[in-house]
Structure 1
Amino acid sequence: MRDIIRAAVAGGWMFGSKREAEELRARVADLERQVAVLTGRLAATGPLLDDATRVESLARQAEAAVRSLEARATPLGVGGPRTRPKLDTLYRADVLGYVAVYFVTGYIATVKLTVGAENPPTTVVGIAHGGGESNSFAGAIVRPGEYWIAATSGERADYGFELHFTPLY
């Protein structure tokens, strides 16, 4: 660009005076400085762009790893929903979980939470009493393959207890 301006000034065409030519040179020099500054700034963004590309790649890899883990974990019951089993029903745990039984309201009753490898289980791990102020909750960890039952102490259909099984992961 400078060469073109020099040739134009030397030839005496396009400019009315030497002052106008010098002003034009100064403006071109200023523009060239600005271009140099912007070029330097742009060059400095190169590593940032490389980092952004690397982070995007890592995010894709992480998402793929999560999908893979989810696909492998689902058949094992990991991430399974909390269920509401029934009282007086024998269950066998397919996955590691936590059984909780607690009194809400209703008839006075007792629920024994029994867990074990044998069918029926024989180890009482908690007793919940309904209608009183103490021991209105029982809970236990149940291992895969273990049997468990929350057995009531009477013949009534509604004892006022809630029962939950939560898979642990």
Structure 2
Amino acid sequence: MSWNDFYRRRNALLATLDWCERNPGEAIPFFDLTGIDEAFIDRADLLRAMQYRWLLLLAPRIELALDQAARRPDLDRVGAVSGAWHELADAEPTLRRVLDQYAEVEEEGLRRPAAAEQRLLALAAGLVEPDEPAEDIVRIGAGFLAMVREQQPERVEMQPCASLWRRRPVTALLRRLMTA
């Protein structure tokens, strides 16, 4: 991909998000928006680019939240990761809404990028180990993501733990709930 292609795709993606912000809930008119059909093969390609943008914005937020949690032993990883996800959802509401809107409709086109988000969340929250089977990591990450989405954003913060020994039972409980 050349730099011209990169900028064309980025500008088309940003123009689409701008249109989606002005027209919430409406289907993206892929062929009616100028430049989108030149930058992306189809709607699924556009949505994969949006999911990739989400991941690019999410990963550093999670890393920062985990760094803060590591400096304060009274804070847990699960709360840090949840807080980072909600912080980004608050900062990028249109992007999150579009991804959620098309998650069911374009399931096949977004399955792999969504699995990447689920893996990132499960590993960062410490719910799984990297050497566990990939299917298990994705399944646990999907369960964790569902729980994160259900939380009220104003209540999501890095929650204090009384001591380090309490983290393991909480993690084990979350894993059991997500695999049930």
- TM-score, normalised to structure 1's length? 0.19
Looking at CA atoms only, which structure, 1 or 2, has the larger radius of gyration? 1
- TM-score, normalised to structure 2's length? 0.18
Instruction: Identify, as 1 or 2, the structure richer in helix.
Output: 2
Instruction: Identify, as 1 or 2, the structure richer in strand.
Output: 1
